[in-house]
Structure 1
Amino acid sequence: MPLSRRMVRTWPVAFMLVASVLLVLASSLPAQAQGLSLSGLAGGGGGGDGEQQTQVDPQALQASLDQVIATLENDAQRGELLTRLKELRQATETLTSETGAGQSGQGGLLGALADSFTEYGDQAQAGQAPLDIWTQRTLRASEDLEALFSSISREELLRDSAEAAVLLAVWSGLLFTLIGAGRLLARRHGWPRVLPPEPRGWMLIEHFLRKALPWMLAFAIMLAVLSWLDVSQAARTIVLVVAYITMCGRLLSTVFDVVISLFTRGHRRVAVAILRQGALGRLFLIGALAALGDAASSERLSAQMGNELAGWVSVTCNVLAAIISGGLVIRYRRPAKHLIRNRPYPQRREKTTSQEIINVIGRLWHVPALLLIGASLLAIFFSAGEADGAFTRAIVCAALLVLTLVINGVIQRHSEKATHRRRKSQYRRRLERFGYTLLYFVFWAIFAELSLRVWGLSFLGIGEEGAISARIGQALLGVGTTVLLAWLAWIFADTAIQRALNASARSRGRRVHSARAQTITPMIRNAIFITIVVIALIVGLANLGVNVTPLLAGAGVIGLAIGFGAQTLVQDLITGLFILIEDSLTIDDFVDVGGHMGTVERLSLRTVRLRDLDGIVHIIPFSQIKGIQNFSREFGIALMRIHIPHDMKIDEAIELMRSVADDLRKDPMMRHYVWSPLEVQGIQAFEQGTALLRIRMRTAPVMQWDVARAFNLRLKQRLDELGQSLAVPRMSVTMENAEPGGEFHETRDDASQGPATPRRHASMPGVQG
């Protein structure tokens, strides 16, 4: 916020007045500070560097002092001076806070972490780090312990120890006597020593009284007896503390034993047995440590031991109790889960919302318990044992966690029902999954914000824009939002690709569509996926505080270098991209790419893989393909040229061809490949004395050669049945003046194999054949 014009105008006057006041205060220092001259004050007290000290004019100093004295004596001027000084202080604080916020607002997550480490380092250098505070507190506790032992003599220590040992022996004898009396009473009345499965109510009461009442009576009797016995205060305190902490440990373990005895029905019996066998002893120790920590924090015991020693003992006992509790939760989480989840079969069969909530709590009960313990330990550590209300805050955080887990469990149950409710498109199913994930993200963010609010922090930075926790939370929230938006963009892009490919299936066959999908879909999906991931990665790095400008510049330079150094590769990629977009060839097409003919087995961004008729695989770069002959599109043409025999009329030959084609179309193996009747295109030419008949049929793609071979086979079989032979080349020979009075012609048929058979026929004189 810029300073007002009035403040800027009055700044020099205020500065002179402040300097004058400081000079007056400096002149009124006690005698040990009078050795400092005015020149030393002006020069910062340092003359070791050889610089000349500034000389102050006595008359100017006298005038300044008179002005300050006059200002302070005048009420109006003094009030105006105070008002200007307050305005100056407020403007300076505002400018400092804005500058700090502007500097702290940069850097993202890494900057926030760096600032937090810097702050922790400053605290460590100033001796305010948690470890330093714990060290200082331990030293003060040891000093209290030394003072406690040094304040009493050796004779008093021996006397107090003897009295405490005698009183502890008396308490132990009384306790064992009461325990034996309880067992004798139970045996006389026939009460069970161990609770049976599914105990009755009076059995639970009897078990609790028999287990806990002797400890309570022993403590009460010792408290009453020690109130009138003439013993030392130390011995009385030791005995009462031991009796109190053991009674609390026994009460905790007994109450837990009675509670779990209510769940000994059915499948829960094994879990109850496991908990009784291993958890009761640990619970006794936890209760004793918690009671010792509570007793050490009392005013009477603090006065006897010392505040620092008593506080250290209290915190240590609480920490040990929390650690043992965490180990107990981890070790026995499965038996406790069985106690919570194993309900009667009619309740488990109904699948109600309450049953689902119980299942969620049983599956994740240890998470809030461990959070409660961990939060308490962290609060104790960072506050050096002075975490007032830390346990209450931890309980609130655990309750928020349980609520969040229950809400997420309900959302998960609803999502599972929605997926099995009816058939949906893949696009809608993916959007619903994204929506449920977004709900999970929102509720966990709300939980983080509320939990940090309990501890006086903020995750979203609401009202605390400059806090380190808010900066870390906002950076993490930005990363999470980036991931969700990238996922949503991928869903839209992938769905658009699928719909664009499915649109071509209406006009083309399923096989062609499948081949096109296998060809184009992986490459387009990979390209779009890599693009989205790269963009999301750049945005995520920016949220983390990484400067992405050098990365983008380096990527541009590398891309330019690759473009110039790999021109052939770029040409292959561009040509292949256009070939695939134009759908010139796909997988399983039979093509001729100029010098290579075969079936397309695989397509990549740079090459096409062909397998020819001999089974040889050819890898051809796209840049070498100048033209494509695709035999697998729409239909094929079986074109045939048949030589007609000499002694067969042309009409009979055409009728024979049509008959053979009709028989071929009725063949169960070939009828699916012949798509049209026989089309006679006429006599194409006369070759060596025979007529060449041109016919054709429309067939399925790539099946024209199979259809032609099948037609030729049937035609040969039909000619064999008719006793006809295929036409062979014919040559006529004319011999003149062979005999007097006449001439004859010799004609032979030159077959492809065997000698020619001459045949003679007469002709008219003077006529040439």
Structure 2
Amino acid sequence: MIATAPSPAPEDVTSAQSWAEWFVGLPLKIILIVVISSIVLVLLRRAIRGITNHIADGSSILDRGPLGESAVGSVLAKANPLANARRAQRARTIGSVLRSTATIVVGGIAFFLVLDALGVNIAPFIASAGVIGVAVGFGAQSLVKDFLTGLFMLLEDQYGVGDVVDVGPANGTVEAVSLRVTKIRDADGTLWYVPNGTMLRVGNKTQGWATAVVEIDVDYFADLDQVRSLLAEAAARVVKDPVVGAHILGEPTITGIERLSADAVTLRLKVKTSPAMQWQVARELRIAARDALDRADVPLAGQRDLMATHRAALGAHDGEAREAAVDGGAPMPRDPRSTPIDDAMSGRDARVAAIGEEPVATEEPDPR
């Protein structure tokens, strides 16, 4: 059965009734298709805008608790600039994808409905579109995989701008996230472009909270109870720090012996921190632990003899300083950059110099 195209003009151009009957037919149908399609598109865009605004605000559409509805909760949610950047990135990307998809779908349906109203057989167009879709799907499988993976990654908020992630081929800070590719800057400054479809697993090191882990290798014969006490003292010092301590979320814990070797015993100090602050907290813990162990004369692994030499050199230096003060001379200040080996060598040189200044007895030559 062949479809007959409607008349493009009224049969009697001089009759107003003929014009009205013609307008109620094809033109009104096309106008209704366009108007209804426009209304649907506007409603979809408004819904998409609402969804993206909820994503940008960090609140859920289905589950909004009292904290999310209060002014205090809004201020707390917007206080973190890193979280705001992540939410804004997700909102822009998801909003752009949804708006483009809505425009293409609604516009395509309206276009085919108008063609059908004009009497055009749209079956070949639909069949051709299906064939083209299948061909594009087979030819661009990796591209489609990247886009789908990127869409789900954004919806699930696996990572965002500013996060430190480990995706296998790259490990660094996320600088940009799109549907197809993620840009990651590693510690060497290299910018990696990682397709989203190639990420088999993602490790986010800065989401929610983190853990600062410090391992200390002490001498095998050190008093472990004393070492634990010193490490607890060092951790308490870091917790009281007004800057770093604000990022510590829990009490530091000192585990038992993690490793045992012929010359070392390894203890582990752990503390829960804010996201992306575990490295700074770990550095401060190492500094505090070194100071505490050094004041208590607890050597690290393999440093027993060197510490003894260092203490002896310091003792000799202090004795020389006291003697110089008694004799009226000014004591020589110690170079803060000197190592224990430098102190030992300085003490030996001082003793050699002292011996060299003393008169040496010589034997009289034999006249025979």
TM-score in terms of structure 2 length: 0.65
**1:638 corresponding residue in structure 2:** 212
Q: For 1:500-519, what aligned pairs fall within 5 Å after superposition?
A: 502-503=59-60, 511=80, 514=84, 517-519=87-89
**2:196 corresponding residue in structure 1:** 622
Report Cα offsets for 1:478-529 as digits up to 9, x if no partner: 4223212321233234434544762188699655764553354334333332
Given candidates 27, 31, 36, the residue that maps to 1:481 is 36
Q: For 1:570-719, what aligned pairs fall within 5 Å after superposition?
A: 570-645=144-219, 649-719=223-293
Residue 641 (structure 1) shift: 1.5
Residue 650 (structure 1) shift: 2.5
> Residues of 2 paired with 1:585 and 1:537: CA distance?
33
Q: 1:561 to 1:716 in 2, by over 3 A?
A: same
User: 2:105 is matched by which residue type in structure 1?
Assistant: I
Three-state SS of the structure 1 residue aligned to 2:242 is: coil
Three-state SS of the structure 2 residue aligned to 1:554 is: helix
> Residues of 1 paired with 2:301 and 2:288: CA distance?
17
> Residues of 2 paired with 1:529 and 1:688: CA distance?
66
> Residues of 2 paired with 1:680 and 1:539: CA distance?
65
Three-state SS of the structure 2 residue aligned to 1:466 is: helix
Residue 560 (structure 1) shift: 1.1
Q: 1:652 to 1:726 in 2, by over 3 A?
A: same
Q: For 1:363-762, what aligned pairs fall within 5 Å after superposition?
A: 457=16, 466-468=21-23, 471-496=26-51, 498-499=53-54, 502-503=59-60, 511=80, 514=84, 517-541=87-111, 542-543=113-114, 545=117, 547=120, 548-645=122-219, 649-722=223-296, 725-728=299-302
Assess if the C-alpha contact under 8 Å between 1:490 and 1:529 holds in 2.
yes
Q: 1:472 to 1:616 in 2, by over 3 A?
A: same
Report Cα offsets for 1:625-676 as digits up to 9, x if no partner: 2222111222211112212357853322222211111111111210122111
> Residues of 2 paired with 1:730 and 1:659: CA distance?
22
Larger relative strand fraction: 2
Larger relative helix fraction: 1
Assess if the C-alpha contact under 8 Å between 2:149 and 2:179 holds in 1.
no
> Residues of 2 paired with 1:697 and 1:673: CA distance?
10
Assess if the C-alpha contact under 8 Å between 1:572 and 1:606 holds in 2.
yes
User: 2:218 is matched by which residue type in structure 1?
Assistant: I
> Residues of 2 paired with 1:570 and 1:577: CA distance?
11
User: 1:483 is matched by which residue type in structure 2?
Assistant: S
Q: 1:502 to 1:562 in 2, by over 3 A?
A: same
Q: 1:563 to 1:666 in 2, by over 3 A?
A: same
Three-state SS of the structure 2 residue aligned to 1:488 is: helix
> Residues of 2 paired with 1:648 and 1:536: CA distance?
75
Assess if the C-alpha contact under 8 Å between 1:601 and 1:611 holds in 2.
yes
Q: 1:522 to 1:487 in 2, by over 3 A?
A: same
Q: 1:579 to 1:493 in 2, by over 3 A?
A: closer
> Residues of 1 paired with 2:239 and 2:228: CA distance?
17
Q: 1:509 to 1:639 in 2, by over 3 A?
A: farther
> Residues of 1 paired with 2:294 and 2:304: CA distance?
21
- Give aligned pairs, total: 290
Q: For 1:248-397, what aligned pairs fall within 5 Å after superposition?
A: none
Q: 1:576 to 1:468 in 2, by over 3 A?
A: closer
Assess if the C-alpha contact under 8 Å between 1:465 and 1:471 holds in 2.
no
Three-state SS of the structure 2 residue aligned to 1:672 is: helix
Q: 1:552 to 1:603 in 2, by over 3 A?
A: farther
> Residues of 2 paired with 1:549 and 1:489: CA distance?
27
Assess if the C-alpha contact under 8 Å between 2:52 and 2:92 holds in 1.
no
Q: 1:499 to 1:702 in 2, by over 3 A?
A: closer
> Residues of 2 paired with 1:571 and 1:752: CA distance?
60
Assess if the C-alpha contact under 8 Å between 1:689 and 1:729 holds in 2.
no
Assess if the C-alpha contact under 8 Å between 1:689 and 1:730 holds in 2.
no
**1:10 corresponding residue in structure 2:** none
Root mean square deviation, CA, Å: 3.8
Three-state SS of the structure 2 residue aligned to 1:594 is: coil
Q: For 1:222-261, what aligned pairs fall within 5 Å after superposition?
A: none
Q: 1:505 to 1:481 in 2, by over 3 A?
A: closer
**Structure with greater Cα Rg:** 1
Higher relative contact order (CA 8 A, sep 6+): 2
Three-state SS of the structure 2 residue aligned to 1:685 is: strand
Q: 1:617 to 1:505 in 2, by over 3 A?
A: farther
User: 1:543 is matched by which residue type in structure 2?
Assistant: V
* Unmatched 5+ stretches in structure 2: 69-75, 306-338, 346-368
> Residues of 2 paired with 1:597 and 1:752: CA distance?
38
Q: For 1:210-229, what aligned pairs fall within 5 Å after superposition?
A: none
TM-score in terms of structure 1 length: 0.33
Residue 468 (structure 1) shift: 4.5
> Residues of 1 paired with 2:246 and 2:39: CA distance?
51
> Residues of 1 paired with 2:226 and 2:21: CA distance?
102
Three-state SS of the structure 2 residue aligned to 1:644 is: strand
> Residues of 2 paired with 1:569 and 1:478: CA distance?
34
**1:257 corresponding residue in structure 2:** none
> Residues of 1 paired with 2:170 and 2:64: CA distance?
29
**1:143 corresponding residue in structure 2:** none
